[in-house]
Amino acid sequence: MWYWLFKYIFMGPLLSLLGRPKVEGLEHLPHSGAAILASNHLAVADSFYLPLVVSRRITFLAKAEYFTGTGIKGWFTRWFYTVAGQVPIDRTDADSAQSALNTAGRILGEGKLLGMYPEGTRSPDGRLYKGKTGLARLALQTGVPVIPVAMIGTDVVNPPGSKMWRFGRVQVKFGKPMDFSRFEGLAGNRFIERAVIDEVMYELMRLSGQEYVDLYATDIKEGRADDAMKPSARMPEVAAG
């Protein structure tokens, strides 16, 4: 109940006023059954505008730090992200990564929509970064379709690093469902998983119009790939159908 009150009463009208969201390709979303919504990630607002324009409930995997705060602020943050449809995951090591995939698999097994950011973190500069293969493994293990989603303009409404939200124009573009059944039984093969996620990132690049950088966004944020700040013309490789 809190999810729908949050969406339609508490936050929905304000988000609509600030971002005046425009939606394309909504017909590509299934009316029922599981699917992975693979989105680019420009701002925290992505996790609120995407559910706003979709009639079905979307569950996101969120970092556990959002749910571990103390005091009144910690309680409010935990409540806020919970009613927004987010589930905490630990991302600290390989075991926690597998646990996150297990949680995601359970959500999809219940026939729900799962929102994922294949870049693993928000873009540091508005460009599209290399996707991580967890989404690919999940898609291959579950056999559910992957629907690419391009968020545009959320970083204007909700500038990264700023606590202030601004007026702007948000666009949400849904691509056609991507079927990877041709790779059935190959989950765990790192070459196949890389081919799958590169195909997803190519669609995100095409939908969003972002420049693609063939490095992980986390490496940029942690200063491990300073050369990525130079423009890169390389696009993700796409597996042959």
Name the residue ranges covered by the structural domains of the chain: 1-229
Burial class from Cβ neighbours inside 10 Å (0-12, 13-18, 19+) for residue 144 reads buried
Beta bridge partners of 174: 149
CATH fold of 1-229, please? Glycerol-3-phosphate (1)-acyltransferase (3.40.1130)
The beta strand positions in 10-153, using DSSP E, are 22-24, 35-39, 58-63, 86-89, 113-116, 128-129, 146-152
Q: Name the pLDDT band for 77 (thresholds 50, 70, 90).
A: confident
What is the pLDDT, as a whole number, of residue 12?
Answer: 86
Q: 146, 162, 142, 155: which is closest to 208 by C-alpha?
A: 155
Over residues 142-151, the mean pLDDT reads: 98
Q: Name the pLDDT band for 167 (thresholds 50, 70, 90).
A: very high
Q: In angstroms, rounded to a whole number, what is the distance separating the alpha carbons of residues 78 and 176? A: 34
pLDDT in tens, 202-212: 999 999 999 99
